[in-house]
């Protein structure tokens, strides 16, 4: 099953609100607030890579407090 890790920068002081919103998105299997350059790491899984891409571009990137994202796609070993 395709999996992607999304590193997200958000507006300041939106942690609780952002986590609540992102956890409502179908396909999000994990979310965590982190320290350093990025504010959050989100893990998305879906049946196909096209669905994963759709979740990222149509849902996660459109959340109102998202400023920037970096997507890392897991490679099957």
Alpha-carbon gap, residue 76 to 62, rounded angstroms: 28
Question: Which pairs from 26-34 meet CB under 8 Å and 24+ separation?
Answer: 26/55, 27/51, 27/52, 27/55, 28/55, 28/60, 29/3
The percentage of residues in the chain with a pLDDT greater than 90, rounded to a whole number, is: 91
Query: How confident is the model at residue 66, as a pLDDT?
Result: 96
13: CATH? 3.30.70.920
- Per residue in 7-41, pLDDT (tens digit) is 999 999 999 999 999 999 999 999 999 999 999 99
Answer whether residue 77 shows pLDDT above 60. Answer: no
Name the domain count of the chain.
Answer: 1
Query: What pTM value is reported for the model?
Result: 0.91
What is the span of the domain harbouring residue 18? 3-73
Tell me how far CA of residue 10 lies from CA of 49, 54, 74, 75, in angstroms: 25, 20, 23, 27
Mean pLDDT taken over the chain: 95
Query: How confident is the model at residue 76, as a pLDDT?
Result: 79
């Amino acid at each position: 099953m395709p999996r992607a890790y999304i590193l997200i920068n958000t507006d300041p002081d939106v942690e609780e609100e952002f986590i609540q919103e992102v956890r409502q998105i179908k396909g999000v299997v994990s979310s965590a607030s982190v320290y350093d350059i990025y504010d959050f790491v989100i893990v998305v899984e879906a049946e196909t890579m096209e669905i994963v891409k759709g979740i990222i571009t149509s849902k996660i990137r459109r959340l109102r407090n998202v400023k920037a994202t970096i997507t890392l796609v897991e490679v099957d070993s």
